[in-house]
Structure 1
Amino acid sequence: MATASPTLQKRDNIPQLLLVRAMAIIGVLSVHSTSFATVAMVDSNYFFLYNFFNIFMKIGTTTFIFLSSFVLFYNYYTRPLDKQLLGSFYKKRLLYIIIPYLVFSLFYFTVLHYLYYPDRSLSTEIHNFIDKVLTGKAYTHLYFVYINIQFYLMFPLFLWLMKKYPRTIKWAIPAGIAIQWAFFIINKHVLPDPGVPNRGSWSFSYFSYYLLGAALGIYYPKIKEWIIMARKHATNARVVTWVALWALWIAAGLAHVYLYYETRLHLKSFNTTLFDLVWNIHGVLTALVLLQLSFILSKKLPNVLTKVIARLGALSFGVYLIHPFFLLLYREHPLHTGTAWLLHLWYLGGFALALTASWFVVGFFARYVPFNWIAFGNLPKPKKRPSQPVMPERQLDA
């Protein structure tokens, strides 16, 4: 790779990234809507399908981390790193990330209190709430926002380092892998049991995706012909790379599925490091594959459908925040029947409700509710329909 120059220049819009966001949120919904089924349907003849969608689609969190880093470094690397930029950066994080995080932490904590812990005292609940907010545990999915906040605190340091010493960029990907795996190894073999509590809530568990996004975001203008699979970009080396990437992605994804299938169905035991390794490979390759797939879809899908998917991508942060609420309500009314096909429909209904209800609510807020940023971040503003999906910066680096 050639060394990227941090000269000030306006970078092109990449509307396809909204499609990546949409695919990532579909992955999140797939995992969350099948989580109960992987336990309840373990004796079903179709358990392999539930397990497949629950594991192969574990692409959302890692892809969002990659994408957030990609966009941050893509947008900020060519800008002067000064007080004005840092002030604007942290103001956006406070308004559009931290405040919604606090709002939804309080929302879910309150819901859980009234559903399951109504007898707890106010002083106890206030103490519990503060502890959970400071550890990203107010609800199961909020750890993602919590680790992103950790990344945002470190972002200026990495940006400064890569702008000051451009040669470090080519080492970003191996450095990310090394930092992540050093954390895994130290946590497992050096620290006393049980190691760092809530390992998945620490940003070091995702550094390979973060620095992969950083490197690709900086180098994108120089390597986009390697990313975009098109006849005009095809060379022998690129075609071999594309085929190898997709083949390895499928293999890693299926290996990931297999490990969980054998563990859940046949109670086999595997080394936890193997799970980490397979998921890491699966997650890294998925980020690259979805990036490529977004360009394919933008060319092959009808324009109307592309706009619909891009709209989901633009609202994905809000959908991520609110969808567990609809799943929680849905699961409060389980289907009591021995009819297999009705059970399958019930689980499918959970996915459909989480997607459509969340999409509707966030879309409604985006169009009609003032100060919607307090709950859902900086949603896209209503405006005239563009000729192609727009990728507003406020959504990208959210």
Structure 2
Amino acid sequence: MSQEKNTRRPYIYELDLLRVITMLTVIAVHITALSAYINTTTTGLQIQNALVNLLHANRAIFMFITAFALIYVYYGKSLQVTQFWKKRSLGILLPYVSWSILYEVFKMPHDVPWPIFFRVLAVNTLTGQASFQLYFILISIQFYIIFPFFLAFMKKVARHPWTVLLISFALEVAFLYTDYHTIQMGRVPLVGFWHYYARYSERCILSYQFYFVLGGITAIYLPQVRAFLLRHGRLVVSCAVIAVAAFTLHYIVQVRVYQEPIAHATAVTQPMIAIYSPCIIFFLFWLASHWSLNASQQHPPRGYKFWHMLSDTSFGVYLCHAFVLTIALTWLIPELPTSWPVALRVLLAWLFTASISVTFCVVLLRIPVLSRLIGREVPKKSKSLSAHNTLVEPNRDVVKAGA
């Protein structure tokens, strides 16, 4: 499995497509959840939130891709820890802090004293609360901090993938079950430790450990995983369809039979998500593998330049789309005719948010210094397609691991 220290590893075209899908579904889940108020019927509200529930898989996909990309780049190499953290600071910490400041300036009243502003800024930056979507980046930062230890762990257990995955999965389900049926059900007084746990558990890397382990193991055994997916496409698709049906049925039973609150039925930290998400992850990986099936370093798959461009903007879109989403919710949706179907209005708001966010990031990608706000250097022209498509510079691909 290991590679020589200076061996270049083939570019993984699938990751570009997966990054784009994850980026677009993140925007979709936010616009779908925050626009649910335009429904005038209970049934309509429940249907819209059923879609929100299904789109929650994007968190798991994000964590999976983050671990996959990092392990793929660094497995079999000697990691220079100080250099690794230095690059991550410039690639992800700088944009994260910069955008946290922008969001706090945007939402903070003008008459707030500076000491209070800086105190709130410090707390919200540390906890990922400067804007509702920044927890994605905060979890990535946590993973980068522990990555040297995670890499060492992966090297130790790589020979026992099924044992590691089963233990990790069991821990994930046990954690989610306990959280969902005790903390979220109010069966534990939310004071002291439990207060902070309930408030920040979704922003803690431990809540998603299975997806990081799954991504790492998949990267190590990529040839075997890819071959299995391509050989058993019907099984992969069938599992995804069954998972969607079962997850939706579970939601319907919760809200229609047991009359549970929608907020509880659509919680991200629920046991069913640990079963549902891997099915969606490998369905999308199968889809991306088919797209890149006959690709090579000299002959990328069809449409590669377009998908690669979108992939390069994904990290920036995670950071900035909340601004555009606010515009869509404040000015676009209220101006759309109420006679139009809710689904059409939500779709238009999603298209508006996605297109404006991507366009903004494409522009930033081409501006020196400002490109750092979305975790990128202004790209240099490659001397050859082979050089462009090879992971010769881990920073470029690691920074956009999950994004």
**TM-score bin, normalised by smaller chain:** 0.7 to 0.9
- Cα distance change of structure 1 residues 391 and 146 upon mapping to structure 2, 3 Å threshold: farther
Alignment of 1:109-188 (within 5 A): 109-113=104-108, 117-164=109-156, 166-184=158-176, 187=179
Question: Does 2:103 align with 1:104?
Answer: no
1:298 aligned partner: 292
Which of 127-136 and 176-185 deviates more? Answer: 176-185
Q: Which runs of 5+ in 2 are unaligned?
A: none
Quick check: 1:16 aligned with 2:14? yes
Pairwise CA distance, 1:25: 0.9
Question: What pairs up with 1:1-398 in 2 under 5 angstroms?
Answer: 4-5=1-2, 8=5, 9-41=7-39, 43=41, 50-81=48-79, 85-113=80-108, 117-164=109-156, 166-184=158-176, 187=179, 189=182, 192-194=188-190, 195=194, 196=197, 197-227=199-229, 229=230, 234=231, 239=232, 242-260=233-251, 268-269=259-260, 276-298=270-292, 305-333=303-331, 334-335=333-334, 339-341=338-340, 344-367=343-366, 369-378=367-376, 381=379, 383=381, 390=389, 393-398=394-399
- Decide whether aligned partners of structure 1 residues 265 and 379 sit closer, same or farther in structure 2, where only a CA change above 3 A counts: farther
CA deviations 1:91-112 (Å, max 9, x no partner) are 1210111111101111111111
CA gap 1:205/1:192 in 2 versus in 1, 3 angstroms: same
Q: Supply the AA of the counterpart residue of 1:285.
A: C
Question: Equivalents in 2 of 1:265, 1:189: separation in Å?
Answer: 22
Which deviates more, 349-358 or 66-75?
349-358
TM-score by length of 2: 0.82
Q: Contact conserved, 1:172 with 1:214, CA < 8 A, in 2?
A: no
Give the conservation status (yes or no) of the 8 Å contact 1:314–1:391.
Answer: no
Whether the 8 Å contact between 1:147 and 1:201 is mirrored in structure 2 is yes
8 A Cα contact 2:365 2:378, kept in partner: yes
Deviations 1:194-250 (A, max 9, x none): 3312211111111110000011111113443113x2xxxx4xxxx3xx433322222
Secondary structure of the equivalent of 1:332? helix
Supply the distance in 1 between the matched residues of 2:116 and 2:42 (Cα, whole angstroms): 42
Change (3 A) 1:32 1:76: same
Structure 1 residues 56-65 or 339-348, which shifts more?
A: 339-348
Q: Which amino acid aligns with 1:141?
A: Q
C-alpha distance in structure 2 between counterparts of 1:352 and 1:337, whole Å? 14
Equivalents in 2 of 1:343, 1:285: separation in Å?
29
Give how far 1:64 is off.
1.4
For residues 301 and 339 of structure 2, the distance between their equivalents in structure 1, rounded to whole angstroms, comes to 38
Describe the shift of the 1:172–1:380 C-alpha distance in structure 2 as closer, same or farther (beyond 3 A): farther
Identical pairs, percent: 24
- In structure 2, relative to structure 1, the CA distance for the partners of 1:192 and 1:50 (3 Å cut) is closer
Shift of 1:258: 4.0
**Distance in 2, Cα, partners of 1:214 & 1:249:** 21
Structure 1 segments unaligned to the other structure (5+ residues): none
1:17, CA displacement in angstroms? Answer: 1.1
- Following superposition, the deviation at residue 44 of structure 1 comes to 7.7
Structure 1 residue 13, shift from structure 2 partner: 1.5
Counterpart contact for 1:16–1:294, Cα < 8 Å: yes
Q: Using the alignment, how far apart are the partners of 1:267 and 1:13 within structure 2?
A: 48
Compute the TM-score of the two structures, normalised by the length of structure 1: 0.83
- The residue type paired with residue 101 of structure 1 is Y
CA distance in 2, matches of 1:26, 1:45: 26
CA gap of 1:307–1:7, structure 2 versus 1, over 3 A, is: closer
State whether residues 249 and 285 of structure 1, in contact with CA within 8 Å, keep that contact through their aligned partners in structure 2: yes
CA offset at residue 75 of structure 1? 1.1
Question: 1:348-394: CA deviations, max 9, x gaps?
Answer: 22211211111111111112x11134310025615369769947643
Question: Retained in 1: the 8 A contact 2:36–2:45?
Answer: yes
Contact 2:320 2:357 in 1 (8 A): yes
AA of the residue aligned to 1:279: I
Q: Secondary structure at the match of 1:167?
A: coil
CA distance in structure 2 between the aligned counterparts of 1:354 and 1:277, rounded to whole angstroms:
31
Tell me if structure 1 keeps the 8 A contact 2:177–2:270.
Answer: no
- Count of aligned positions: 377
Change (3 A) 1:337 1:320: closer
DSSP-derived class of the 1:198 partner:
helix
| RMSD over aligned Cα atoms | 3.3
Greater displacement, 295-304 / 325-334: 295-304
Whether the aligned pair in 1 keeps the contact of 2:91 and 2:376 (CA below 8 Å) is yes
With over 3 angstroms needed to count, the CA separation of the structure-2 counterparts of 1:243 and 1:15, relative to structure 1, is same
